[in-house]
Structure 1
Amino acid sequence: MSRPIVAGIVTALVGFTSSFAVVLTGLAAVGASPAQAASGLLALSLLMGLSCIVLAWRYRMPITVAWSTPGAALLAATGLVEGGWSAAVGAFIVVAGLILLTAVWPQLGRLIARIPPSIAQAMLAGVLLPLCLAPVSGVVTNPWGVLPVIITWLVFLRLAARWAVPLAFVAASIVVGVHLATNQTVIDPTTLIPAFELTVPTFTVGGIVGIALPLFLVTMASQNVPGVAIMRSYGYEVPWRPAMFVTGIGTAVAAPFGGHAINLAAISAALAAAPEADADAKRRWVAGVSTGATAVLLGAASTLFVALVLLAPAAVIPAVAGIALFSAFGSAVQQAIDDPGERMPAVVTFLVAASGVAIAGVSAAFWALVVGLVVRLALHAGRRG
């Protein structure tokens, strides 16, 4: 069973190193301090790891669970809401409740599936755009720090695409190391000990409407629903209710410690479920357990990753985060404009989301959905088909 074990380790490493910078960026944007962001990263890693182990072991499938990377990008685009960090934590708890509701009432999941994919993906693309521009602006701001990251990514995108983003992170780590050595920066080892930071949640209209609802929709539409479809393509029928129950409970436990959401893995799910993990489909569940165990170990280094972000020279970490989202952005744009009949509502949705303009304390992502659906209704109302 060494092959599925290795496949699980690779799945966790690729998933973590490819997107942890996005998670930290999102948590910081909605008000988390460095210690609170580290706590959130630790909580998410532990809960998604334990969820992987529980689901894979119980159902003998390579089910993998991840944090919501599109959700973290949404947080980065949303920024502070009324009530600050505690309101964001309250929103995370609401998201957990909504995920659990989909386990009890599957019709909610089907209702979300009725949102036109072009609108949902256009909103996601608009949210991702500012983050994806960071490598471009970073080349101007700090060329010597950002160019090695971009070049590494480009080289390995050609040679070993799966490792392109993780190795771009390695390049960024080297840049940070050189920067620290040049400036003779000394790090206190006691600051690298992982710790939980408990936040008492508050519930505000801005937090619920501006964070919770868009975060729930993005997590469901961009992670859970595609995650089930990807697993089905490899011959596995993910048990919907148990999966939503486990990830909902996991999100609820992680929320007070700063974790925004966990969900079924989508793109990275293929690493553990594909034949490359093991020729025998009945043994690939071991890869799910291995993924979970590795995620727990990576979580123990959460404060180290936060320290890298804090000590990095200007523009380096945002460049890594942007590169990590290129694939998701490209996929979202393609799905948004694929149907010519849905293109105009999708374009409007994209532009509103990308504007970042908050109205009445509610984020642009929410208004993008509203405006996109209104434009679609205006264009299609009364038409047959």
Structure 2
Amino acid sequence: MASGLKILMSTQEISEPPQSYSYVESVTPPITQNLTNSRSQVYEINGEVRVHGNSSTIFIPTTQQLNTTTSFWNLKPYARNFEKSIMKKIKNINITYQNPNTTPPCTRLFTAPAVIFSTGGYLGNPFHDFTDVLIPLYLTSRQFNTTVIFLVVDMNPWWISKYKPILHMLSKYEIIDMASQNEVLCFPRIIAGLKSHKVLNIDKSISPNYSVTHFTKFLKTTYSLERGFVGGCKNKSRRLRNEYDVAELAQSVGFDVSVREMGGDVSSVARFGNGFDVMVAVHGAGMTNMVFLLENAIVVQIVPFGVEFNAKDCFENSSRDMNLRYLGYKVEVRESSLVEKYGVGSEVFDLQSLYKKEWAVYRSVYLDEQDVSVDLFRFNSTLLEAMELVCNS
């Protein structure tokens, strides 16, 4: 068996100078596009746009006669629009057309456009960092080639620091904390909210100039990752209870194995993860580290009982679109820790009622309570398949 084959078992993280400004009345209001979908609320406003930061209000001056149904909107700039419980915690942004005589005057003028987004919500969990903000932010702002200003609500400085290299590659300006701004900032264009298509992914049919493989290549450039593509025989959660037995099994197959909790230093995680041809992880946030893998690498997702739909939607589909090769290992009842708590005959193992449960109940049982101990004989076949894929690259 080839030596040196490496496998990772992932266990699981601006402004322009102030200028004087005088208002020139518009004959027609700026163009405002509502790009809202099931995942995110997005308004794109072109023309003179004024932002009063600490009141979280966007003013659009116009001399046209307006009615209340067409002159006011509000949004929460976080790409998880379908989950109302978390969206309640996101700062609300108001957008309003207003007569120029009553619109607050600009105190700072910017020539670059702006993008408004939140660093609240579930951020701090790597999966949500990428699927709720970083991929949507890339999709929304990459078109400006770093000449764009980020306005942030629900500001979390530690999160900004954690992902500073990515943010710096998307914007050459300092990030503005909206809550700290008592001035009126003026922009020629604003996108309020982040465009988001699907989980950990980009829909090329909606945005043909961008894809999730563009995003992963962008990450490799951002973190100066040298290896780009798997070639030839060369090679780290819901908790995997027997991870060290699995590691020994992988070594016996011929892999060099590293078992590692990836931690919060993203630059270190990126460089470390890019050195592996195979990643094994139980369905969960640790799977997100696949964004740093080599193109054509193998992702092995251990899928806990009852989590097949989530596993496919969250990671299987997106891994394929990242030009990674995917292998899934479905956990049987006897391999799940739920057996110890509920017993083999429990209704939690009734597949017909499984997906009829309310989300909170489903999540608490199948996602929050469940660990796995894989059957080493069964899992050996998956490792051998991964080995074959790498060696035949």
TM-score for the superposition, normalised by structure 2: 0.22
More helix by share: 1
More strand by share: 2
Higher relative contact order (CA 8 A, sep 6+): 1
TM-score for the superposition, normalised by structure 1: 0.23
